[in-house]
Structure 1
């Protein structure tokens, strides 16, 4: 089963390069690009099939961990292998990482204020030929923009090198977040695998390079500091987390939560992030990678609950939201309805299964 998993990851990495924008000055696989980029049925079947295989493997792995058949060392090896393969993929499902690159370029190369100057305001900027959000000012907080100086300078002005610098930067935060979860759980392999091997997490982070793991890494370490009575450090880190993306502001009420049980803290933290996840359509819409937010704290909740059951369904369904677009190449028509169906039907099914499953 592990062999099938790694074969799927390898194929995912190769085929992802078929999604390179035709106008982007990035390498393209001549025989693959016309099939993936301009066809509909092939990428639809490939992606939906890959998601299915990855989730079956994920649930199989968690079940084996529950049976004490998989150790922490084995989980870490799986995480290492997953990272080593997916780091080479192209961000096929989202263009956000290019927005990070463009904002960093406006800030550190052109030395402009990214909250005032949009990429489109920069004349003759090469990225404008393929950038999807060139007409927007910076969408993220100042802490994130300061952190992007690292991959920006590492990229040395080359787009491909900068792309991989950002991907490696995000992947490093993913590994750090996995390590924090593992340590805080008492080095339990299940907690590590629940988060670190979830396909939604690995694809959103290692393939598409979303910065949510940075925000959540700072949030988790802030609570770990507070747990160890380092209150100033903890509050400072939580503020830094909020100034990455803003979603972790939902955790602020927990600073005043009086309890001796950190299991209760993790439980309510996961609920808080569930709530902010559901409120995300107020700003724009629900995105798959937003579900990383509650998953971080759910991994630390030892007793299996309805929230865990729902998380399996949401993780699976959210990754399918892009499937109707692959098939129709349109965000209108039937696509919005299908997105709603695949988002909410799987968690309903997974919670119903949980409710009918006898527990010891």
Structure 2
């Protein structure tokens, strides 16, 4: 029997590395994943053992950090080992998806407790309370549900379709956290599968390599972490909007608008995509009268569907008043507008002024400017008719980028929004691809060092220090010293200079 080809062997190694990394993170989640106070897992071996002693929690922390970084390395190596992005690579990518996703479906929620907020909002629906006017704190014993404290007083910012999903998950599970979490995870997997189906369909329309886009976007570790391990409803949102834009681009506009509207009904941020869907539906040869006609048809169809759903659930357009997320005056250090606003407020405070008001002005200015940029992009029609679809989708990508980059808080899953939109319109080798590598490594590290759940008697400072040390050391190793991957983060001229020296 002949020996396997080196390339095939290398691909299999990458697939298995990702599987092992995913399994390690799933096992480690037992010790530092988020649990609700009502979870029966708290009283179940080996959960109780893994969470009650500092050494066990530290072992679980190391497992999660090492596992997720190994998944990142597997993704990088898979891109290197496949080499030629031909249709023959599609089965390998599909195999990687199942290898890497399946263990994470059964992990204790990692890096976010939003799924527990979904359970709380589902209970509000089940008890006949309006989630657009009531926070989770309206429920009895709400503190046992496990959501972030930001959600306890805040109304939900989600659309009516997601409220129905929350209602159904709580009704089917009887309020038990574990089966409800599994239902939310399955909807996350559905969103990922929709992306796996429709990303290559869009790339085929615009002349972008489909297999490379699948690897770059759908198998990206940041997407898998946030859409599966964390269970964010952004997975379903992005799957629906991607499918909708594909059908709009192929002149099946009614189906496209319905799917984009369904995405809005999960999370209303995709309202941004609606005018671009109308442009795609109108077609490349449309003049301004036809564009306005199709924009009108898009708006009437979408608003009509949302009104119907609002009538059926009795909540109307309540989600319009809850579009601002809880803690809207918060900021984060890697958000440019957030850093600018916080810095301006700090400076004003030094001179005895009201710094919080100044920060709010900066944050609001960022939001207004992002909306103006998005509006400008809607009316900026591509000049090259042969690149019409690609141009419209790229304008949609920049509209979402404006909203993300001009926000005071940038969440890791916001990167995934941009990755999908820019990925289907083409991310070039060189600087653009290296930027994706750096952002992926950065947001993986942010996830590893951000939200960790431990019991009150476990010193969280020690656990977080371990996560920061292990996560940073492993990510920096990939970027700077790993013999197989560090070249990916360097420009070719860097290596030419080194050889010349």
TM-score normalised per structure 2: 0.60
Structure 1 stretch 249-258 or stretch 287-296: which is displaced more? 249-258
- Alpha-carbon distance between aligned partners in 1 of 2:74 and 2:94, rounded to the nearest angstrom: 16
Give how far 1:99 is off.
Answer: 0.6
1:233-283 deviation line (CA, Å, top 9, x unaligned): 3334333323432332333453354544223333333333222222332xx
In structure 1, the residue matched to 2:410 is 286
Does structure 2 conserve the Cα–Cα contact (< 8 Å) formed by 1:65 and 1:190?
no
Shift in alpha-carbon separation, 1:271–1:44, aligned structure 2, 3 A: farther
Shift in alpha-carbon separation, 1:323–1:15, aligned structure 2, 3 A: closer
In structure 1, the residue matched to 2:73 is 56
In structure 2, the residue matched to 1:14 is 27
Does structure 2 conserve the Cα–Cα contact (< 8 Å) formed by 1:195 and 1:295?
yes
In structure 1, the residue matched to 2:152 is 134
Note if 1:76 corresponds to 2:94. Answer: yes
The residue correspondences of 1:306-345 to structure 2 (distance < 5 A) are: 306-325=431-450, 328=461
User: Based on CA coordinates, which of the two structures has the bigger radius of gyration?
Assistant: 2
Unaligned runs of 5+ in 2: 1-12, 280-377, 453-459, 480-485, 496-501
In structure 1, the residue matched to 2:390 is 263
Note if 1:194 corresponds to 2:209. Answer: no
Shift in alpha-carbon separation, 1:33–1:287, aligned structure 2, 3 A: same
TM-score normalised per structure 1: 0.81
Note if 1:153 corresponds to 2:171. Answer: yes
1:165-200 deviation line (CA, Å, top 9, x unaligned): 111122122112211113333483222221221111
- Alpha-carbon distance between aligned partners in 2 of 1:161 and 1:188, rounded to the nearest angstrom: 35
In structure 2, the residue matched to 1:234 is 256
Does structure 2 conserve the Cα–Cα contact (< 8 Å) formed by 1:310 and 1:351?
no
In structure 2, the residue matched to 1:299 is 423
Give how far 1:322 is off.
Answer: 4.2
In structure 2, the residue matched to 1:274 is 401
Which of 71, 80, 90 is 2:108 aligned to? 90
- Alpha-carbon distance between aligned partners in 2 of 1:230 and 1:150, rounded to the nearest angstrom: 30
In structure 2, the residue matched to 1:203 is 225
- Alpha-carbon distance between aligned partners in 1 of 2:403 and 2:54, rounded to the nearest angstrom: 35
- Alpha-carbon distance between aligned partners in 1 of 2:243 and 2:160, rounded to the nearest angstrom: 19
- Alpha-carbon distance between aligned partners in 2 of 1:357 and 1:266, rounded to the nearest angstrom: 34
Unaligned runs of 5+ in 1: none
- CA RMSD, Structure 1 to Structure 2 (Å): 3.3
- Alpha-carbon distance between aligned partners in 2 of 1:168 and 1:214, rounded to the nearest angstrom: 10
Give how far 1:351 is off.
Answer: 10
- Alpha-carbon distance between aligned partners in 2 of 1:115 and 1:211, rounded to the nearest angstrom: 17
Give how far 1:110 is off.
Answer: 0.4
SS of 1:297's partner is helix
Structure 1 stretch 173-182 or stretch 44-53: which is displaced more? 44-53
Shift in alpha-carbon separation, 1:82–1:91, aligned structure 2, 3 A: same
- Alpha-carbon distance between aligned partners in 2 of 1:167 and 1:76, rounded to the nearest angstrom: 19
Shift in alpha-carbon separation, 1:37–1:97, aligned structure 2, 3 A: farther
Which of 84, 107, 124 is 1:67 aligned to? 84
Shift in alpha-carbon separation, 1:37–1:21, aligned structure 2, 3 A: farther
1:323-359 deviation line (CA, Å, top 9, x unaligned): 444573799xxx9xxx9xx9xxx9xx9998358479x
- Alpha-carbon distance between aligned partners in 2 of 1:111 and 1:227, rounded to the nearest angstrom: 40
1:140-175 deviation line (CA, Å, top 9, x unaligned): 122321333443333243221111111112212211
Does structure 1 conserve the Cα–Cα contact (< 8 Å) formed by 2:37 and 2:146?
yes
SS of 1:273's partner is helix
Does structure 1 conserve the Cα–Cα contact (< 8 Å) formed by 2:190 and 2:236?
no
- Alpha-carbon distance between aligned partners in 1 of 2:243 and 2:145, rounded to the nearest angstrom: 39
Give how far 1:300 is off.
Answer: 1.8
SS of 1:274's partner is helix
Number of positions where the alignment pairs a residue of Structure 1 with one of Structure 2: 340
Does structure 2 conserve the Cα–Cα contact (< 8 Å) formed by 1:86 and 1:207?
yes
